Amino acid sequence: MESFWQKLNKPLFVLAPMADVTDPAYRRLIAEYAPPSVMWTEFVSADGLYHTREKAGMKDSENPLVRDLLFREGERPIVAQLFSSRPEMMSYAAKLCAELGFDGVDINMGCPDRSIEKQGCGAAMIKSPENAKAIIRAARESGLPVSVKTRIGYNQETLDEWIPELLSEAPEALTVHLRTRKEMSNVSAHWDLMPRIVALRDKHSPKTLILGNGDIKTLAEAKQKVEETGCDGVMLGRAVFGNPWLFTGRETSEILPEERIKALYTLAVYFNELTPAKHFHILKKHFKAFVQGWPGAAELRSELMQTGSLEELTAVLDQHKLVYSDA
Ligand SMILES: Cc1cc2nc3c(=O)[nH]c(=O)nc-3n(C[C@H](O)[C@H](O)[C@H](O)COP(=O)(O)O)c2cc1C
């Protein structure tokens, strides 16, 4: 059966998974303002999902970690990003994602965080291709289409070895963050390597969609990369900070202060409603991103940084006589 990936209009412009940024609240805002071709959840530990449930002897529906996997219909198509180095855990979690109604499962093979790598997950997968392939096969047991997000190598670029290993499992899509693990985010993304990745795809798994990732700031730039490199699409991450309109083509500099304030307030309302277990301070990244670029923004931002609840945030906006709601 054809998966949702094959039915999408190309080129694809997709929203990157970003822990504590692309949570259910921000995804809802983006889905309402400017939906991308595909959304990703934040990454979720397959082992964590399993052990939390086992320890408490609870049903999947009672598992607090499942809260990180809630989404709304308007976010479709949406893929759940999972990480694990144990095939049986991946199989369990991917099946759970199928039950939850996700359109696909994505496997994180690029995260450089030490606590993730210690578990043999994220970028550490690049060093154990046999296990990486077993993890892809395990995710497939869910019946969902499986995609992978990775980097160009670990200590150095090893595209010719690593990418064919992944392609031998014919994932539906492969997103390549165009840096090595060692480079973290400290150098510019190597977009010059993308034509080589596309050629590897053509040779080893012609149906796999190739998405490039790294440093793209606007939709126009993303379109240009597709034209220049032949990839099927681009994944955008940090460009969406302070700009939930990104996928309409609007650039951050074009967004008016009053639009920013309304979007930020709406985000805080959604955050309260959809992620009750998360601490309000997680929103502070968004305060920084939305509240900048006009006279008085710095003062407002520093006042917002002191707030600890939706009520306090609303009080600050009221004090500044800002319009934040259409009601
Ligand atoms: C705050 C933050 C959280 C992130 N969380 C994840 C994650 O959960 N899973 C993942 O695969 N990548 C994660 N990333 C990496 C991004 O998906 C993306 O690969 C990276 O930011 C480069 O793309 P960009 O230049 O378009 O932002 C995260 C990045 C940031 C900045």
Reported as a single tens digit per residue, the pLDDT across 73-120 is: 999 999 999 999 999 999 999 999 999 999 999 999 999 999 999 999
Mutate to test the pocket of ligand 1, among 13, 15, 18 (most ligand atoms within 8 A of CB): 18
- Residue 97 bears catalytic tag: no
| Per-domain boundaries in the chain | 8-247, 256-319
| End-to-end Cα separation, the chain, in angstroms | 46
For residue 43, give both structure tokens. 């990454």
The token duo for 110 is 């690029």
pLDDT, residue 67, reads 83
Please state which of the ranges 63-72, 196-205, 211-220, 244-253 shows the lowest mean pLDDT: 63-72
Atom in ligand 1 nearest the alpha carbon of residue 216: 26
Compute the mean pLDDT over every residue in the chain, rounded to the nearest whole number. 96
Closest by Cα among 107, 154, 113 to 131: 107
pLDDT above 80 (res 327): no
Which residue has the least CA distance to atom 29 on ligand 1?
18
Which residues, in sequence order, are CB contacts of 262 under 8 Å at separation 6+?
323, 324, 325, 326
- Residue 238 near residue 229, CB atoms below 8 Å: no
- Which residue's alpha carbon is nearest to atom 15 within ligand 1? 18
Query: Comparing 2-11, 97-106, 169-178, 318-327, which segment has the lowest mean pLDDT?
Result: 318-327
**Distance from C-alpha of 287 to C-alpha of 269, rounded to nearest angstrom:** 14
Closest CA to ligand 1's atom 23: 214
H-type alpha helices, 171-296: 194-204, 219-229, 257-274, 284-290
* Phi, psi (deg, nearest 5) at residue 290: -85, -35
**What's the 89 CA to ligand 1 centre distance in angstroms?**
23
For residue 18, the CA-to-ligand 1 centroid distance in Å is 5
Q: How many whole angstroms from 140 Cα to the centroid of ligand 1?
A: 24
Atom 30 of ligand 1: nearest residue by CA position? 18
Cis peptide upstream of residue 77 (ω within 30 degrees of 0): yes
Nearest to 102 by CA among 179, 3, 12, 199: 3
Residue 60 CA to ligand 1 center (angstroms) comes to: 27
Integer Rg of the chain from CA: 20
- pLDDT at position 58 is 81
Residue pLDDT, tens place only, 118-132 = 999 999 999 999 999
* Alpha carbons 122 and 125: distance in angstroms, whole number: 6
Contacts for 37 with CB less than 8 Å, ≥ 6 apart: 8, 9, 12, 13, 14, 77, 233
Using CB distances shorter than 6 Å, the residues near ligand 1 are: 16-19, 21, 42-43, 81, 108, 110-111, 149, 177, 213-216, 236-239
Those residues with Cβ within 8 angstroms of residue 297's Cβ, 6 or more apart along the chain or in another chain = 257, 291
Separation between Cα atoms, residue 177 and residue 179, nearest integer Å: 6
Which of the following is catalytic: 97, 111, 121, 231? 111
Q: What is the DSSP string of 44-110?
A: EEHHHHHHHHHHHT--GGG-GGGGGG---GGG-SEEEEEE-S-HHHHHHHHHHHHHHT-SEEEEEE-
For 159-188, what is the mean pLDDT?
98
Instruction: Provide the 8-state DSSP code for 242.
Output: T
Closest C-alpha to ligand 1, atom 22: 214
Of 39, 29, 33, whose CA–CA distance to 8 is shortest?
A: 39
Taking the C-alpha atoms of residue 229 and residue 154, their distance in angstroms, rounded to an integer, is 23
Q: How far is the CA of 275 from the centre of ligand 1 (A)?
A: 20
Mention the CATH class of domain 8-247: alpha beta
